[in-house]
Structure formats: structure tokens, C-alpha cells
Amino acid sequence: MVDDLLAILIIAVFYTSSLHLLPLLAALVPLGLFAALVQRRVRSPWLLLPLAAGLVHASGIHATVAGVLLGFMVPVLRRDHQDGPGLAEQFEHRRRPGSRCGSSRSSPPVGLAKLYQPDGTVSGMPITASRRWAALGVLSAAVLLLSIDGTVLALAVPSLTESLRPTAEQILWIGDVYSLALAGLLALAGNLADRFGRKRVLLFGAVAFGLVSLLAAFAASADQLIAARLLLGVAGATLLPSTLSLIRNIFTDPAERTRAIAVWSAAFGAGSAAGPMIGGFLLEHFWWGSVFLINVPVMILVVVTGIFLLPESRDPSPGPFDFPSAALSLLTVAPIVYAIKHLVHGELSPMLAVGIVAGVLFVRRQRRLANPMLDVDLFRNPAFSGAVLANLISIFALVGLLFFFSQYLQFARGFSPLQAGLAELPATIASIVVVLLVGIAIRLGRGRAIAVSLAVAAAGLALVAPAADLASYGWIALCLIPVGLGVGLAMTLAGDAVISAAPPRKAGSVSAVTETANELGVVLGIAVLGSLLTATYRSGLNLPATLPEADRAAATDSLGSALQVLDPVLAETAKQSFVAAMQTTSLVAAAFTAIAALVAWRLIPSTEPVAAADEVPSASPHA
């Protein structure tokens, strides 16, 4: 019965014609599937139904891809969490005298029974220093690609609009559905990584991301591209918490782990900077689908190298899977993200109330469960809450700045998109340089170092305001350096504080908290600071009463539209109004960041926190 219902659900999702129902229904697919997997009630033959439907239906590519992905997922995930390590670990242990790599459904084989530490890390495989950093390279490549993928789509919208002819509503869904799925499923994905194995979930996500990228690149309609973007968000949600939680378990030395997280953060920042430049180059030479094809070779590299370089780790006693918690986590984050996104257009969506109510129910349920999906009591720890807030504000300020700063460079200063991307490099390069400064900063103590980093970023944001009036771009570039330096350092130290607050066996769930805070920081930065920028721009724009109503509406909508309909004199007035709005917004971002610095100074201790009571140290790496 469960098999039939799931098959019908899969087909209904991928053939639904309503764009309003598509994201909600498709988000239920992984939840229903994972719940059935945990209960051992799924049998693989039912996967033939979506495949068959795809073959007989003229537009059945969605169901076909769903069947392929789920066919890969079932044999990977339908294994008991005590079955032992994956193929790479079994291969290594087969070569050792006396090792046994058999498999049992009830208990791990004798040769593998002692491979897992009580904290869920692998102890049978020596993790040398070179292997640790090579593994970090694999994890950094994954987040680098995700970061690039999140920035290239905006450049491709004009080209894909000409090719696919989407409606205005479809264009919004093409942009929004990825972040909704990603943010909404992070908590669930982190829990699944703890349960089934972080390496296993990461490799599944990489394979899925590569396959769905092919679907996106060759989408023949807007509906197909929306479905592909939705699945990319689902796959991305499995990648992010897995990378950070693997770092938590691979790098057991706190100082070394902090440097590793700095590299991980730098890769994310580098991807954000490289995305527009890579996308611009591809779109100049190839069709719009090429921005998705770049995912495929990178994900192949991640899978091939990850099989042999990444050690497996998981929670040895995850407890029963709680489907209501998974559903409530999705119904909390996704509606809130959706509502925040629509604040930019001046809309107060009722989805905000849905998210808040679901969030309250989620917290109440987690407090009642003996083995919750997320230990919400961690937020009672001021150090943990302060670190999460510092992370959120760092992303909030940086994304908000780059959002309006890019418009300023292109519309007010006349830069091309490629020139604007290059002009933002000082902030990105500074955020990468923090890898070299982490060791020095940590000597101040974690709390003081985060507070000072945020203060430096706030100073840079405040200096951007007066520099915007200067003729030379060089002064603005100098102001961007402290912004990138402060934000990069604060994100590194705050992220390390968050994942260090829980034992390694819960690294996936806690990593999901960091990633969810990052996603909320992105949407809040664009929504709050973007709304402030728009409101200030409109209030300062003085247009003559004789201007036609259509031109007036276009001019007040955005500076880009104003430059298309206004004469040179009024266009210069619009530029001045936008610069003034950008200065105000930059100062507000600086104020938020300064407040976060004070909170970090007050809440986050500058001494190393005591490890959690149930934390068991992992095996000492063999250098």
C-alpha cells in the first residue's frame, strides 16, 4: 500500500500542471520516501512505475529522472545504520589480514564491528595529515560549485527567457524554488547524514546534483527548468551539512579544524565571486544551459575522489526516524524564506504565519522527544546562540552590500557586468586571506575575535557610504577590504563555534543549523536591505508632474528602468537618488553588524568551551 501511494505521489508531483502546487508537492516526495525507507516498507519494483510513465508520456522527462534518482537512492539508503562502512572502507579492509567484509542485516560483520568509535567516526582507517587536507579539498570543491551555482542563474535569465518563453510567475519560481527547497530541507538532510552516514549522503547528493544539472541544462520548457531547479535544491541540501559535519569529524584538533573551516568558508566566498565571471564567459560563448553543465565534471570529480579520500562517520545510535519533525522543519523554514523573499515587493505573505506556527510546534516536539532531530536546548547556550547570530548577520551584511553595490557599479558608474564582478573582488580576496589570519585571531579568544571581526566589517560598511561620492573607485575598493576581512573571519570563527558546541555524532544536525542561518542571512540581506534601498530611492526621487504615468512607474521601480525611460538630466537625478539610498542602506548594514559585534562580545566566551558530556574523542589522526 505504501509503495503504491508513493508511486502515485511521485507521478502526480512531476506531472502536476499548477506552478502553485508543484513546489509544495515535490517537497513532500523526499519526506515521504525517507519515512518509508526508515520503516523498511519500500520495495524497489515500484520504482519502475515512474520510469514506465516517463517512457509512455510525451513530456515524461521529470518522472524518468525521478525514477533514476530514486533508484539510486534506495540501494544506498536502505541499509541499516549499523551495516558498517561504505565500499571504499570495505575495499581497504579486504586487503588487511584477518579482516572480514561480509554484510548482515542484523549486526555488523566481525571484521567491521570495531571500526566505528562510540561517537560514530571511523577508527579502522588511519587519517594521515595529507589525507585530511586532501579530503578538505574534495569538500571545498563541492561547496565552491554550490556557491557558483547560486550566482550564475541571474545572468542567464535574459537568455533562457528568450529561449523558453516563461511567464513572469515562472521566472520568479525559477529563481525562488531552489532556495526554498535548499533552506527547507537542510535540517532534514543534516539528520539523515547523521543517521545514514555523512559520506554516503554527500556522495548521493553529488550524483543527484550532477544528474539534475543535465536535466536543467537541456530543459525544453519553463516547467521542466522549475522542476530541475527544485531537485537541485534538494540535492544541494544533502551536500552542505554533510561537508561541514565531515570536517567536524575529520579534523579533531580544534586549531586545525578552525583552519579547515576557514578554507571551507573561503571556497564558498570564492564561488560567489567567480560565479558572475564564469557565467558571463559561458553566456558569451555558449547557450544558457552551459551554466548548469559546469556542475557535471566537478561533481564527477567529487564522487570519484570522495569515495577513496573521505572517511565515513555517522551517529551510532540515531534512534527512530521522526517523520512529523521532518515535516515541521520543512514547514517552518520554507514558508518563512518565501515570505521574506516577497517582502522585497512590499507583500506580507500569510506564509510567514504558517512558518511561525510550524516553528513553535517543531520546538515543542523536539523538547518532548528522547532523541530529537535537533537539540533545541542548544539555543539556551548563549555561546551557541551568539555564534549562530554572528553567522547570520555576517551573511546578511555581505550579501546585502553586494546586492545593491552591484547595481551601483553598473547603473550609477556604468560598469559592465564583468567589470562589476571584478570590482567586487577586493571583498572576496580579503575573505579568502582570513585563512592566514585565523591562527592570530584565535589568540584573542573566540568571542573577542568574532566581535573584533564584526567591528572591522561594520567600519568597512560605514566607510562605503562616503566613498560612494568619490570619483575614484580605488577608495571604494579599499573600503571593501575590511568588509571582506571582517565577514570572512567572523563566519569562520562563528561556524567553528557552532559545530564545536555539539558532539561529533550530532555534527550533521548542528551543521544544518549553520547552513540554515546562512540561507536566512542571504534572504534577509536581500529582503530587508533591498526593501530599504528601494524605499529610500523612491522617496528621494523627484520627478516632474508632466512625466507620463508609465514612465513614472518605470522610473520608481528601479534605477535600471529609470535609465531606460528618463532623459539625461532626470537620469542623473535618479542616479543621485540611488547613491543616497545606497549610502543610507550601507550605514544601516553597518549598524546591524556593530550590534552583532556587541552581542558576540557579550555572549560568546573567549575561552575554549568544555566538550559536551556525551562527546567521545575520535581516534587520533596518524600524521
Of 269 and 460, which is predicted with more confidence? 460
Q: Which pLDDT band, with edges at 50, 70 and 90, does 471 fall under?
A: low
Q: Does 197 have pLDDT greater than 60?
A: yes
Q: Name the DSSP class of 540.
A: T
Checking if the pLDDT of 616 tops 50, the result is no
Percent of the chain exceeding pLDDT 70 equals 72
User: For residue 438, which of 492, 372, 510 has the smallest C-alpha distance?
Assistant: 492
Q: Which residues contact 69 (CB under 8 A, 6 or more apart)?
A: 208, 211, 212, 231
Does 273 have pLDDT greater than 80? no
Range with lowest mean pLDDT among 34-38, 209-213, 270-274, 368-372: 34-38
Higher pLDDT, 376 or 119: 376
What pLDDT, on the 0 to 100 scale, is given for residue 168? 64
pLDDT at 115: 39
Looking at the DSSP bridge assignments, the partners of residue 122 are 116
Which comes out higher in pLDDT, residue 451 or 156? 451
Q: Which cell numbers hold the place of 21? A: 502546487
Q: pLDDT category, 470, cuts 50, 70, 90? A: low
pLDDT one-digit tens code per residue, 508-539: 667 777 777 777 787 788 778 877 888 888 88
Angle, helix 198-217 to helix 295-309, in steps of 10 degrees: 160
Q: How far is CA 315 from CA 86, 150, 244, in A?
A: 15, 30, 15
Sequence letter at residue 179: S
Instruction: Name the pLDDT band for 444 (thresholds 50, 70, 90).
Output: confident
CA distances from residue 159 to 11, 381, 581, 597 in whole angstroms, order as listed: 30, 49, 30, 42
In whole angstroms, give the CA distance from residue 60 to residue 53: 7
CB-count burial class (<10 Å; 0-12, 13-18, 19+) for 12: middle
41 Cβ neighbours under 8 A, 6+ residues apart:
2, 3
Q: Which residue has the higher pLDDT, 405 or 319?
A: 405
Q: What integer pLDDT is reported at residue 134 of this predicted model? A: 84
Half-sphere exposure of 415 (CA within 13 A, CB side): 17
Q: What is the pLDDT of residue 455?
A: 92
Taking residues 454-482, what's their average pLDDT? Answer: 82
Decide if pLDDT at 450 tops 80. yes
Using 50, 70 and 90 to split pLDDT, how confident is the model at 503?
A: low
Please state, in angstroms and rounded to a whole number, the distance separating the CA atoms of residues 40 and 78: 7
Residues 6+ apart with CB under 8 A from 533: 404, 581, 582, 584, 585
Q: Is the pLDDT of residue 259 over 60?
A: yes
Domain ranges of the chain: 379-608
Q: Which three cell numbers stand for residue 291?
A: 551554466
How far apart CA 514 and CA 359 sit, in angstroms, is 17
Exposed/middle/buried for residue 409 (C-beta within 10 Å: 0-12, 13-18, 19+):
buried
| 307 secondary structure, DSSP code | H
The residue with greater pLDDT, 15 or 200, is 200
Q: In the structure, what pLDDT confidence band is assigned to residue 485 with cuts at 50, 70 and 90?
A: confident
Sign of CA dihedral 535, 537, 539, 542: negative
Mean pLDDT of the 594-613 span: 71
CATH topology of domain 379-608: Growth Hormone; Chain: A; (1.20.1250)
Most confident of 180-189, 449-458, 472-481, 495-504: 449-458
What band does 227 get if pLDDT is binned at 50, 70 and 90? Answer: confident
What is the reported pLDDT for 135?
85
Sequence length of the chain is 623
Q: Which residue has the higher pLDDT, 617 or 336?
A: 336
Q: What is the mean pLDDT of the chain?
A: 71
* pLDDT for position 25: 42
* pLDDT at residue 16 greater than cutoff 50: no
Sorting pLDDT into bands at 50, 70 and 90, what band is 282? confident
Q: Which of 79-88, 417-426, 445-454 has the lowest mean pLDDT?
A: 79-88
Residue type, 612: A
